[in-house]
């Protein structure tokens, strides 16, 4: 990955105003933050800027107000929540542009912190409007993007400001970009990708990109049923996109041409009902009944994948290998995750994972803390895996 500027590259920040794009799109209930993970993720960047003598003006979005002033989508309640997490006062102003905002920033104590109003309440934010960008840029001396999760959008606060001010990656963004570079940019080989989830149709671009980048591609979950069916396996009543057989064959041909080995289940766990603790059995691919549903990979598949992991030097993981939310159909996801985590903890493997279901699955397995890096960026992580340019990242590289 080309180099990008980091906060230490900004030089003397005493008295400067840093406009910092953070991800404060947090879950709320009755006006209270119910999960402060994203707030805690911003602390290191904010504290490093304060320690360098800068005032910090925070930019963030919440929900999808589409430029309309919706009271329930104000960031006002989040200022207090972030104050507690930061251990310092965070003031709030109900706007993100204008002379009154500039005055509020000027009135801050040295190294003070202020949260500006939800950027998406401003018309033009989501369109990347240059005039709005100029108004916001006038509030600060430098721009810091610490919200990789919003980097796939070319909004004013995620990309355009970087065209108007000296731009730097925040510490959360920096960690994400460094980890992703290790996973696909300049990885240690062999590289293995594990891709699971329900549907091939939602991950066609992802699979087409990965087969050109990795040495082994393991496919699990409902997606594996579509691949197996395309190979002539009867998958019974399983979740399967039979109409994508031609697409599967295209992906298989591309993998063969680039020397990527596709790893599919060797055996499966089937049940008649999609529910926790449903009566089930493990069987070979030729023994799936007409009324069976494939809900997990079997023991032979788990062994095959853990052996593949032991050969790999880098693994990138997106999506569970079975219906992990239902016991006992979480077995393959948990066992393979445990194997990857142990190798990563022992320093034998760079293990990077991301995507909502993936994070939930690894937390369920109790191994998230042992992975090299786990991205919580959702859509941005998926688009990066698809090989797409992320405007918020590209703006930092210019």
Distance from C-alpha of 271 to C-alpha of 48, rounded to nearest angstrom: 53
Distance from C-alpha of 66 to C-alpha of 185, rounded to nearest angstrom: 35
Could you confirm whether 356 is annotated as catalytic? yes
Distance from C-alpha of 350 to C-alpha of 248, rounded to nearest angstrom: 28
Distance from C-alpha of 297 to C-alpha of 264, rounded to nearest angstrom: 9
Could you confirm whether 199 is annotated as catalytic? yes
User: For the residues of 25-56, what is the DSSP string, one character each?
Assistant: ---EETTEES--HHHHHTHHHHHHHHHTT-EE
5, 102, 199, 345: the active-site residue: 199
Q: Which two tokens stand for residue 322?
A: 């079975």
Tokens 């159909």 locate to: 329
Distance from C-alpha of 47 to C-alpha of 14, rounded to nearest angstrom: 14
Cα-to-chain-centroid distance, residue 68: 27
Residues in the chain: 398
Q: Which two tokens stand for residue 36?
A: 């402060």
Q: CB burial class (10 A; 0-12, 13-18, 19+) of residue 253?
A: exposed
Asked if 195 contacts 210 with a C-beta cutoff of 8 angstroms, the reply is: yes
Closest by Cα among 214, 292, 285, 199 to 248 = 199
Range list of H helices, the chain? 37-41, 43-51, 76-86, 99-106, 130-137, 171-180, 204-210, 221-230, 245-258, 299-311, 331-345, 356-365, 379-385, 391-397
Strand partners, 267: 284
Could you confirm whether 220 is annotated as catalytic? no
313, 379, 387, 388: the active-site residue: 379
Asked if 25 contacts 61 with a C-beta cutoff of 8 angstroms, the reply is: yes
Q: CB burial class (10 A; 0-12, 13-18, 19+) of residue 9?
A: exposed
- What is the CB neighbour count within 10 angstroms for residue 346? 9
98, 185, 356, 378: the active-site residue: 356
As annotated, the active-site residues are 38, 199, 356, 379
């Amino acid at each position: 990955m080309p180099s990008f500027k980091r906060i230490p590259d900004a030089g003397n920040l005493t008295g400067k105003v840093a406009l910092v794009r953070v991800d404060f799109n947090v879950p709320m209930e009755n006006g209270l933050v119910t999960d402060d993970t994203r707030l805690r993720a911003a602390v290191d960047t904010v504290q490093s800027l304060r320690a360098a003598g800068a005032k910090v003006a925070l930019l963030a979005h919440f929900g999808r107000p589409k430029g309309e002033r919706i009271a329930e989508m104000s960031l006002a309640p989040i200022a207090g929540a972030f104050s507690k997490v930061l251990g310092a006062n965070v003031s709030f102003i109900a706007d993100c542009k204008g002379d009154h905002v500039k005055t509020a920033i000027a009135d801050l104590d040295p190294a003070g912190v202020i949260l500006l109003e939800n950027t998406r309440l401003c018309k033009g934010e989501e369109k990347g409007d240059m005039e709005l960008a100029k108004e916001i840029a006038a509030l600060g001396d430098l721009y810091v993007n610490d919200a990789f999760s919003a980097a796939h959008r070319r909004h004013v606060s995620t990309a355009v400001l970087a065209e108007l001010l000296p731009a730097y990656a925040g510490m959360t963004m920096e960690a994400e970009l460094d980890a992703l570079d290790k996973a696909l940019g300049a990885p240690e080989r062999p590289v293995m990708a594990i891709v699971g989830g329900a549907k091939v149709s939602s991950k066609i671009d992802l699979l087409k990109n990965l087969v050109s980048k990795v040495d082994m591609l393991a496919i699990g979950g409902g997606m594996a049923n579509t691949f197996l069916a395309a190979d002539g396996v009867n998958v019974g009543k399983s979740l399967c996109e039979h109409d994508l057989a031609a697409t599967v064959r295209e992906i298989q041909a591309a993998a063969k041409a680039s020397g990527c080995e596709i790893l599919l289940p060797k055996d499966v766990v089937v049940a008649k009902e999609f529910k926790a603790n449903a009566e089930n059995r493990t069987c070979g691919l030729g023994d799936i009944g007409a009324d069976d549903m494939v809900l997990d990979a079997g023991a032979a598949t788990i062994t095959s994948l853990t052996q593949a992991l032991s050969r790999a030097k880098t693994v990138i993981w997106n999506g569970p290998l079975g219906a992990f939310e239902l016991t006992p159909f979480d077995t393959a996801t948990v066992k393979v995750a445990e194997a990857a985590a142990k190798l990563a903890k022992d320093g034998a493997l760079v293990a990077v994972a991301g995507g909502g279901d993936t994070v939930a699955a690894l937390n369920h397995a109790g191994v998230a803390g042992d992975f090299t890096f786990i991205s919580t960026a959702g859509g941005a992580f998926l688009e990066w895996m698809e090989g797409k340019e992320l405007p918020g990242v590209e703006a930092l590289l210019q």
